[in-house]
Amino acid sequence: MSIIVTGGAGYIGAHVVRLLQERGEDVVVVDDLSTGRADRVGDATVVELDVAAGDAQERLERVMRERGVTGVVHFAARKQVGESVQRPAWYYQQNVTGLANVVAAMEAVGADRLIFSSSAAVYGMPDVELVTEDTPPRPINPYGETKLVGEWLIADAQRAWGLRAASLRYFNVAGAGWPELGDPAILNLVPMVLDRLARGERPTIFGDDYPTPDGTCVRDYIHVLDLAHAHLAALDHLDRDERPASVFNVGTGQGASVREVIEEIGRVSGLDVTADVAERRAGDPPRLVASADRIAEVLGWRAANGLPEIIASAWEAWQAGPRRIG
Ligand code: UFG
């Protein structure tokens, strides 16, 4: 019996692969290696494959049959909001067609457990203190739309043929579970601040006139290792229940502002993190913080780490990489 982790060579995927290996599961990584790296997955078999390709369903079925696959953790997708606005059709091809190929292959071989990487981006700009899974999803960009459509497809497959699935709506993922598994991309706040510091530049704050306590945007930062553990909890849950609740926020219930994150980076690194304030970035909600009650109640999962652990681990991973500061 094996588990396929699509996108397993990526930032979050590699953490899940390692946790699955630690508990003795046989893992097959399916990854196009466009952003992932095969050296992140230990001794897992790597099948180089774009899940959105024309022959992907057939190739996935073959791997599933050969390896006796019973479940899939599906990360493989594009995740850049700005790029999704520029290239909507490509985002639908990659994220929606890719998922459809995975689900079709699962149906064909009778593999019926799926964990889907969804996103808080499905909520758009909710005007609430804590976002629950019942907050109406209103994505404001193609990236968020593709994740919501993915959830719908999964719900339809649950009804049609008994797919057992959980969609995990990630909030702001950061940190590293192991120093060599840090986020290799410079696309989010923590790596963007570290990148500026590595260049000897000041961090940038995109707007400090939001209706929040210090004027900067508030987010729910979740340690990537906690997030990875949530995937294992969800997989185990699918084993226990016939018709599980299928959508879960993965966050901490605690918000941190951009300024607080930057200050924590200064505290951990000892660097001067005096920031420049720039214009607001289009599409940023002032506040996006999860209610993490459902996942605690149903899966028994809670984040073990807070902002200090997230930033300390991100710093350690950065310093273990090629662009060490100081
Ligand atoms: N920010 C800065 N300076 C920077 C980088 C970011 O001020 O150098 C701010 C952003 O404007 C935002 C906050 O830091 O207010 C967090 O920004 P990120 O880009 O790290 O994260 P987002 O909340 O914008 O995006 C995340 C995920 C997306 C997802 C989105 C909505 O990265 O994939 O949440 O759920 F779509």
Q: Which of the four pLDDT bands, split at 50, 70 and 90, describes residue 326?
A: confident
pLDDT tens-digit profile of 75-93?
A: 999 999 999 999 999 999 9
The β-bridge partners of 46 are 29
Pocket of ligand 1 contains residue 275 by CB under 6 Å? no
pLDDT tens-digit profile of 250-282?
A: 999 999 999 999 999 999 999 999 999 999 999
How is 105-172 classified by DSSP, letter by letter?
A: HHHHHT--EEEEEEEGGGG-S--SSSB-TTSPP---SHHHHHHHHHHHHHHHHHHHH--EEEEEEE-E
Instruction: Enter the pTM of the model.
Output: 0.98
Q: Whose CA is closest to atom 31 on ligand 1?
A: 121
pLDDT computed for residue 242 by the predictor? 62
The β-bridge partners of 25 are none
Is 80 exceeded by the pLDDT of residue 245? no
Atom of ligand 1 nearest to the CA of 81: 36
pLDDT computed for residue 1 by the predictor? 85
- Please state, in angstroms and rounded to a whole number, the distance separating the CA atoms of residues 226 and 211: 29
Pocket of ligand 1 contains residue 143 by CB under 6 Å? yes
Compute CA distances 105 → 69, 114, 296, 317, whole Å.
11, 12, 31, 36
Is 70 exceeded by the pLDDT of residue 243? no
Atom of ligand 1 nearest to the CA of 174: 20
pLDDT tens-digit profile of 160-217?
A: 999 999 999 999 999 999 999 999 999 999 999 999 999 999 999 999 999 999 999 9
Pocket of ligand 1 contains residue 189 by CB under 6 Å? yes
pLDDT tens-digit profile of 204-234?
A: 999 999 999 999 999 999 999 999 999 999 9
Residue 202 CA, distance from chain mean position = 27
pLDDT tens-digit profile of 122-137?
A: 999 999 999 999 999 9
Active-site annotation holder among 91, 143, 170, 221: 143
Atom of ligand 1 nearest to the CA of 285: 15
Pocket of ligand 1 contains residue 259 by CB under 6 Å? no
CA 181 – ligand 1 centroid, Å = 20
At the top level of CATH, which class does the domain 2-173+223-250 belong to?
Answer: alpha beta
pLDDT computed for residue 240 by the predictor? 83
Is 221 catalytic? The answer is no
CATH of span 174-220+252-320: 3.90.25.10
From-to residues of CATH 3.40.50.720 in the chain: 2-173+223-250
From-to residues of CATH 3.90.25.10 in the chain: 174-220+252-320
Pocket of ligand 1 contains residue 218 by CB under 6 Å? no
What kind and span of H or E run contains 203?
none
Q: Whose CA is closest to atom 18 on ligand 1?
A: 188
Crossing angle between the packed helical segments 258-269 and 307-320, to the nearest 10 degrees: 50
DSSP category for residue 93: I
For 106, how many CA atoms within 13 A lie in the half-sphere containing its CB?
31
pLDDT computed for residue 145 by the predictor? 98
